[in-house]
Structure 1
């Protein structure tokens, strides 16, 4: 039986052969494409493993990339510039800057602080395991201008069982606070946690307050706001105050969304936005910050192969509703 499609429809291919990103900036084979707002005129996109060729090539170097878009309407994403994300990554598998084995480094989200500095959350990937992966730690990287990101000493180390719930994070600024939603690494089953921290204290882990869903207070301990099978999460506060969450339900292999009026919830049931019937090998599903509940723009990755031959390694834009 054919798998039904979700609510979202394809708007455009953003990377891959023949796209504007490939022809103008050399960003061809790529993943993620996480958009975050700098201001009301500019959005930055964070890409993970990025190549100048259509497919991931064994032995070729890859690096995270940052691309800028200053087009006011998310319906027609055009990139004004593109470049490497600086020393957030070494560019090849080996001993990373922390002296531990690192297969790659993947950004998970970004924000712009009130003072104009940019912060990227990322994970240090120690080993890939098919569609999943193991991480050594999650960390924060900092940039004065949103291009050359440098790792900071702020880290949350994973544990041997790989179920630390503070690895894959998405961040949303709301006035002077940053709300951080986190799940375990590797698109696995576990808990989603919610923390908050003041913008001027984001590099100090001791200043993070966890949401305790049992008694409805901020502080410690932090308790799960949701449990499920989570891929990389994305949370944005949209125009009008609606909070929307997107992630890959890694058990069903669907990109789904939930909504709430406050970051603490309650969060709605999952709504299916995309299935493999629409995009084989899908993952990601990152929310464009200029979306509205009725026009929800999702940035979706696809990595797919048939008989060991790659047929897709690209980022696309889909449009649905929350």
Structure 2
């Protein structure tokens, strides 16, 4: 496996800026860092002894069709970090662990099961992965990385948005960026086995397509899709919506756009934000507040914004987790059971730290609690 995906954070984390564009963003707020609660994956934890999930990428929580929470991991290993030792180290992606424990409980998140496993045992991949070879569609694929998940109680179906990774080191103006070949959708009708559909949102020749890294949130009959470029590049964040039962029909997606005088649906997308975004995460809280989280690659911090709705004014960034608190951080994913109450915004934060000579020292996910 190529070990370049996250290593460029040190080189690129101080370049670029996450900024607002008129007229969508204008509100300010005081930043206050979240606090570390516990580490959730690692070779010394039961995620490894029970399911051989030790070193992990990401850890995206979403509501399953039965109301519990699934956590989606990208490149996963039975060793503390991707390079082992020993090798081979059972590289898998994506993998899902589950939990019905509220993140605000005294002991924090506790995983109780893994997808595609009855009880304890090795947690396998959820779907086909080319693993540095020819993928399911006959194209070269380094790996498959999940973007987000969503479920539909009406049908019992789950969907995962993912990226098919072409390489980890495409040239870019601020250093190498990973390149996705396309974003796709996979589905499961049994909550375990996911089928990759033929649908593809292709990246472009310049690796600047803004519809590669998705986060999805349902509200009523609509699913709202926020997306950015692959590779943590400078660029726009776009907003689309689609009826929940039309996600497999690209022509049904509506863009949110500016026509020169006002913003509205059913138009070509125009940016709702611009910046250098890491993986985005958006969730609608129980009180109706929308919360967005992402890595701001300008300052190396996990930041959040809030809004009254997906197409409403988003507040200024609020710093939740800094790179001083959690060196090597990159993913900050909002737990769906979070609330606006103090210290009840629960973030799943992934990290990968390495020495100057390339040896990993941490590759796991932790739980933080802050205030939206």
TM over 0.5: yes
Instruction: Decide which of 64, 68, 85 is 1:42's aligned counterpart.
Output: 68
Matched, 1:179 2:179: no
In the TM superposition, what is the alpha-carbon distance from 1:265 to its structure 2 partner? 2.2
Check if 1:217 corresponds to 2:278: no
Instruction: Please name the residue that 2:302 is paired with.
Output: 255
Inter-CA distance 102–316: structure 2 relative to 1 (3 Å threshold):
same
Per the alignment, residue 349 of structure 2 pairs with: 300
1:231 Cα deviation (Å)? 0.6
Match of 1:80 among 92, 107, 112: 112
Instruction: Tell me the CA shift for residue 80 of structure 1.
Output: 1.4
**Unaligned runs of at least 5 residues, structure 2:** 1-30, 115-122, 170-174
1:49 counterpart SS class: coil
After TM superposition, the structure 1 = structure 2 runs for residues 62-81 of structure 1, keeping only pairs within 5 Å, are: 62-63=91-92, 64-75=94-105, 76-81=108-113
Whole-angstrom distance in 2 between the partners of 1:309 and 1:107: 25
Which of 296, 301, 316 aligns to 2:366? It is 316
Q: Which residue of structure 1 aligns with residue 37 of structure 2?
A: 11
Contact residue 88 and residue 141 of structure 1 kept, 8 A: no
2:201 to 148, 151, 156: 156
Aligned mates of 2:299, 2:164 — CA distance in 1:
26
The whole-number CA distance in structure 2 between the counterparts of 1:40 and 1:143 is 13
Contact 1:14 1:20 in 2 (8 A): no
Partner SS for 1:84: coil
* TM-score, normalised via structure 2 length: 0.82
C-alpha distance in structure 1 between counterparts of 2:140 and 2:168, whole Å: 12
Is the 1:105–1:125 contact (alpha carbons within 8 Å) kept by the matching residues of 2? Answer: yes
1:89 correspondence with 2:129: yes
Matched, 1:33 2:59: yes
What's the CA shift for 1:259?
Answer: 0.4
TM-score normalised by the chain length of structure 1 = 0.94
Equivalent residue pairs, number: 318
How much has 1:39 moved relative to structure 2?
5.1
Q: Distance in 2 between matches of 1:62 and 1:26?
A: 11
Higher relative contact order (CA 8 A, sep 6+): 2
Are 1:132 and 2:181 matched, yes or no?
no
Which residue of structure 2 lines up, in the alignment, with residue 119 of structure 1? 159
Show the counterpart of 2:146.
107
Q: Distance in 2 between matches of 1:102 and 1:191?
A: 26
1:245 aligns with 2:271: no
Larger Rg computed on CA atoms: 2
What are structure 1's unaligned runs of at least 5 residues?
none
Which string of whole-angstrom CA distances, capped at 9 and with x for unpartnered residues, describes residues 262-281 of structure 1? 10121000111111111111
Residues 249 and 73 of structure 1: is their aligned pair in 2 closer, same or farther, counting only changes over 3 Å?
Answer: closer
Give the conservation status (yes or no) of the 8 Å contact 2:65–2:158. no
Offset at 1:72? 3.8
Q: 1:200 to 1:41 in 2, by over 3 A?
A: closer
**The one of 42, 48, 64 aligned to 1:22:** 48
Give, in whole Å, the separation in 1 of the partners of 2:315 and 2:285. 16
- In 2, the alpha carbon distance for the partners of 1:252 and 1:57 equals 28
298 and 10 in structure 1: CA distance in 2 versus 1, 3 angstrom threshold: same
